[in-house]
Structure 1
């Protein structure tokens, strides 16, 4: 992977619907060359897929929480989280805490229901998200990218 591939990945993360013509202009290559590079990144699973970024607010899921679990039954908790519609992400982690679930729900009441239902799998500790800053993946950091310059 070279700097052009890294720039292609950065641009696709910003806008996965960008045309190959526009992407080619940004990275200063021909459209066929960019198409070939993107195909190779897809074939080697560097690009795992293309996704829509959906507004939780527009879906009425304004309450986001990170719930840390000291689990009694890791497999059952993982299964519960996998099938629960409010769970966006679930991580098994090492340490005192065994799982972290990211939940987006409609109300404090529905969050309480989730917590009550999950208690049979372990002890939850709930942290409501006040704000967030989601970063995109960069394969390398240059002085310019570290300082937010492109």
Structure 2
């Protein structure tokens, strides 16, 4: 991966809907060259996909919570979280807790219900997100070659 590939990655992270023509102009290459580079980055699975960022508030899921578990049944908890509609992400981690689930839910009551339903898998500890920052662009220039 060279400097042009890194610049392509940076631009696509900022705007995945950019046309190949505009992208080519931004990196000073022809459209066919850029299309080939993007295809190669996709084949190498450096680019894993293109996503729409949606407003959880507009989808009536304004409450974001991180629930940490000291699990007694990791497989069952993982299965429960993977199938629960409010769970956005679930991580198995090393340390004092064994799982962290990120939820987006519509009410404190639905969060409480989730917590109650997971107690059979271990001890949950819940943190409600008050504000957040999400890094949108990974600097590909810091990546090792």
Which residue does the alignment assign to 1:116? Answer: 116
Per-residue CA distance 1:29-73 (angstroms, 9 max, x = gap): 111111010000011111111111111011010000111100000
Which residue does the alignment assign to 1:55? Answer: 55
Moved over 2 A (4+): 136-141
Q: Do structure 1's residue 11 and structure 2's residue 15 form an aligned pair?
A: no
Q: What secondary structure is seen at the aligned counterpart in 2 of 1:140?
A: helix
TM-score, normalization by structure 2 = 0.94
Per-residue CA distance 1:99-137 (angstroms, 9 max, x = gap): 000000001111111111111111111011111111132
Cα shift at 1:139: 2.7
Unaligned runs of 5+ in 1: 142-150
Which residue does the alignment assign to 1:42? Answer: 42
TM-score, normalization by structure 1 = 0.91
Q: What secondary structure is seen at the aligned counterpart in 1 of 2:141?
A: coil
What is the CA RMSD across the aligned residues, in angstroms?
1.3
CA distance in 2, matches of 1:34, 1:61: 38
Unaligned runs of 5+ in 2: none
Which residue does the alignment assign to 1:72? Answer: 72
Q: Which has the higher contact order (CA 8 A, sep 6+)?
A: 2
